[in-house]
Amino acid sequence: AQSVTQLDSHVSVSEGTPVLLRCNYSSSYSPSLFWYVQHPNKGLQLLLKYTSAATLVKGINGFEAEFKKSETSFHLTKPSAHMSDAAEYFCVVSEPGAGKSTFGDGTTLTVKP
Amino acid sequence: DTAVSQTPKYLVTQMGNDKSIKCEQNLGHDTMYWYKQDSKKFLKIMFSYNNKELIINETVPNRFSPKSPDKAHLNLHINSLELGDSAVYFCASTGRVGDSPLHFGNGTRLTVT
């Protein structure tokens, strides 16, 4: 069975400082992992995905995530936050043959000027 | 060109009414989904269709009935609307379940009064 835990429901950073959004997963197989972003009143947009290739994955808008099997983690980072990064972020795990993806509960990122 | 489009964007209706939400994708994907996002931003899968066939039904009340006339369309009909049905409903599609990302529509905000 697959599951995902986003360790922080809210993260607040100042503009220009680093962003860290934490995600731990559980999977019986080699999963695919995704991060999605949802801006207010919008649908979800793919930030990046891990599908068993390089463990450091680069995404859009300067975000990246590192797959750490030993820690069952897939944390999302960005070196310098921008005001436009304020949004809801979802970590997602998907096992081959599962038929569906499992979403974390989301992390709300606030960026202060 | 919008990849996954839903209509309407907003839907306000009274308890007991019946309403439908439509979804279309032009990505050539075989699999489509309905997700429900509650007021706390939690996302829950409701249904999944693969090439017009229902493959996932996540203990959703019988008042909700999805219909897929072809693999590019997945509609959601809701009978006898209740206050608790108020939420944002997202349609999504994917090319290959598991390691391909989900493509989301912009959502339909349903308010039941």
In this structure, what token pair is assigned to residue B87?
């939420």
How would residue B96 be classed by pLDDT, with cut points 50, 70 and 90? confident
Q: Looking at CA atoms only, how far is residue B108 from chain A in angstroms?
A: 10
Contact A27, A51 (CB under 8 A): no
Angstrom distances, CA of residue B59 to CA of A53, B64, B105, B112: 35, 10, 23, 21
The residue assigned the tokens 């439509």 is: B22
DSSP code for A87: E
Considering only CB atoms, B104 lies closest to which of A43, A94, A95, namely A43
| Residue B101 DSSP one-character state | P
Per-domain residue ranges of chain B? 4-112
Class in CATH terms, A3-112: mainly beta
**Distance, C-alpha B37 to centroid of its chain:** 10
Query: B54 in contact with A at a CB cutoff of 8 Å?
Result: no
| Average pLDDT of chain B to the nearest whole number | 93
The CATH architecture assigned to B4-112 reads: Sandwich (2.60)
Q: Give pLDDT tens digits for A94-109.
A: 887 767 789 999 999 9
| Partner residue opposite A51 with nearest CB, options B33, B56, B99 | B99
Q: Is the pLDDT of residue B97 over 80?
A: no
**Of B86 and B97, which is predicted with more confidence?**
B86
Q: Does B107 contact chain A (CB < 8 Å)?
A: yes
